[in-house]
Amino acid sequence: KQEVTQIPAALSVPEGENLVLNCSFTDSAIYNLQWFRQDPGKGLTSLLLIQSSQREQTSGRLNASLDKSSGRSTLYIAASQPGDSATYLCAVSGNSGGSNYKLTFGKGTLLTVNP
Amino acid sequence: DAGVTQSPTHLIKTRGQHVTLRCSPISGHKSVSWYQQVLGQGPQFIFQYYEKEERGRGNFPDRFSARQFPNYSSELNVNALLLGDSALYLCASSPGGPTLTRNYGYTFGSGTRLTVV
């Protein structure tokens, strides 16, 4: 059974700081990994998708890496801004549990960027 | 293009009642999945539908059911509501088919907030 863990559970940083969020998963047989952002009480916004054959993806100030063999991914946020404050969720898709392509999520990291 | 549309946005029901949640995927997407997110947790997989057939089911009781229509929209039904069913219900849309989903991932709607009292 796939399990996803995100560390830390919460993070508070001053504006302008670079930061790293961590995600680990137990079953390396994944199809892809997605990072999502969730604002309070809202739906999920996809930030980056890394296919299993890729090592990293970049979008603006965001960079996500994937090490499938060790079951780890990191989300790097450069020059953080107060508007980056949200919960960041990591999710992997695969055939775990007998359902093709279902997403298994971590519990998320609550990020607060202080002005 | 419209994104994933879910209705209603908020809903209050009484224990024992029935509820129907609706989702319209992105135009051209053929796969819809449903997730339940309780406060402080990550979303949990409920169902996946592709081409109107159930392709996966999570660890939820039979009170939960769903279907997908010919236009690829979907309904999630929950019978005999319990207090523990209070959650944000999320719908996810993907192009459908293994290769497309592998390459493009999922797009989520804004969710339906269900409160059971």
pLDDT at B2 over 80: no
Nearest-angstrom CA–CA distance, A77 and A16: 10
* Average pLDDT rounded to a whole number, residues B30-39: 95
- Residue B83 φ/ψ, nearest 5 degrees: -55, -35
pLDDT band for position B102 (cuts 50, 70, 90): confident
Coil, strand, or helix at residue B103?
helix
User: In this complex, do B102 and A104 lie within 8 Å of one another by their Cβ atoms?
Assistant: no
Nearest-angstrom CA–CA distance, A109 and A93: 19
Cα dihedral sign for A89, A94, A95, A99? Answer: positive
Span A3-61, pLDDT tens digits: 999 999 999 999 999 999 999 999 998 889 999 999 998 999 999 999 989 999 999 99
Please give the single-letter amino acid code of residue B102.
R
Mean pLDDT for chain B? 93
Tokens for A14? 């001053």
User: In this complex, do B48 and A102 lie within 8 Å of one another by their Cβ atoms?
Assistant: yes
Q: Which of B5, B2, B3, B1 is nearest to B90 (CA)?
A: B5
Please give the single-letter amino acid code of residue A109.
T
User: In this complex, do B45 and A103 lie within 8 Å of one another by their Cβ atoms?
Assistant: yes
User: In this complex, do A46 and B107 lie within 8 Å of one another by their Cβ atoms?
Assistant: yes
Nearest CA to CA, how far is B48 from chain A (Å)?
7
Nearest CA to CA, how far is B19 from chain A (Å)?
20
Nearest-angstrom CA–CA distance, B48 and B25: 13
Whether a cis peptide bond, with omega within 30° of 0, leads into B70 is no
Q: What is the DSSP letter of B111?
A: -
- The 10 Å Cβ neighbour count of residue A58 is 11
pLDDT band for position A99 (cuts 50, 70, 90): low
pLDDT at A97 over 70: no
Contacts of B10 (CB under 8 A, 6+ apart): B112, B113, B115
B-chain residues near A54 (CB < 8 A): none
Residue of B92, B102, B107 lying closest to A31 (CB–CB): B102
